[in-house]
């Protein structure tokens, strides 16, 4: 069986700084996975490697059996932790752009999600609040029929009232043939939807497992286990 994501002795360094160090990891389809670690643990570097934005220093990274390439970009839907959408565009124009650029984009799904979050498609991005801009970006990403969704802090900039809806959106808009990787510091918020958790520190794997098994084995929540593992 081909793993959806396979890392084999993956390393990435910047000069003398080792951001990812000999990482071995597999992820299969049908999972929501939390990528968890303190600041500087290598989460963002790993996400950029998965998306082909960085090249590994050594080792191998395969997405659905392929090295990062235009072919893998077509099956990976990526939400960065910063807004990259142009302020002078209307929301509807962004939907058209994604529809033209990605063959798996579901325009109808995007319209429904915008309506649910009370965002007017005719609005200019520059007239939206920071939180609504982030919601638009998430809607664009989750409206693709991708195999792998990689979400970097998807709920960090939205109000608590919208977080539950966004988490439900993540659950409802991926298929059994796809998986979602969520990198976040808001572990207690995302813990209820996680199937697996991956703890990394200084670019190395500290802990990985099914969330129910981890809670049973350690006798505490994933949030409490994180706090214990990475206690300062």
Cα 105 from Cα 96, distance rounded (Å): 10
HSE on the CB side for 232, CA within 13 Å? 2
Answer whether 115's CB lies under 8 Å from 145's CB. no
- Strand pairing of 179-183 and 196-201? unpaired
The neighbour count for residue 192, using CB atoms within 10 Å, is: 11
Helices (H), 4-142: 43-50, 70-73, 91-101, 107-116, 130-142
* Tokens standing for residue 184: 């976040």
Which of the residues in the chain have pLDDT under 50?
none
Backbone phi, psi, residue 49, to 5°: -65, -45
- Strand pairing of 32-36 and 196-201? parallel
| pLDDT score recorded for residue 1 | 55
Domains and CATH numbers, the chain: 5-229 (3.40.50.300)
What's the chain's average pLDDT?
Answer: 92
Torsion of CA 110, 115, 117, 120, to 10 degrees: 90
């Amino acid at each position: 069986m081909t793993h959806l994501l396979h890392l084999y002795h993956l390393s990435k360094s910047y000069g003398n700084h080792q951001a990812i160090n000999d990482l071995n990891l597999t992820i299969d389809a049908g999972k929501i996975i939390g990528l968890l670690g303190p600041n500087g643990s290598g989460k963002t570097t790993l996400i950029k490697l998965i998306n082909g934005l960085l090249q590994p220093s050594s080792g191998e990274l395969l997405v659905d059996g392929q090295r990062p390439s235009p072919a893998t970009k077509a099956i990976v839907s990526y939400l960065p932790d910063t807004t990259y959408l142009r302020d002078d565009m209307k929301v509807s124009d962004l939907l058209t752009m994604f529809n033209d650029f990605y063959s798996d984009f579901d325009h109808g799904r995007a319209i429904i999600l915008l309506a649910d979050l009370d965002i007017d498609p005719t609005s200019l991005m520059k007239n939206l609040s920071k939180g609504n801009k982030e919601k638009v970006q998430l809607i664009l990403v989750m409206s693709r029929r991708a195999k792998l969704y990689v979400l970097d802090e998807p709920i960090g900039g939205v109000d608590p009232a919208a977080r539950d809806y966004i988490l439900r959106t993540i659950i409802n808009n991926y298929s059994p043939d796809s998986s979602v990787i969520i990198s976040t510091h808001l572990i207690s918020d995302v813990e209820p939807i996680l199937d697996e958790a991956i703890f990394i520190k200084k670019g190395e794997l500290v802990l990985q497992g099914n969330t129910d098994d981890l809670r049973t084995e350690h006798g505490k929540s994933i949030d409490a286990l994180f706090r214990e593992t990475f206690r300062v």
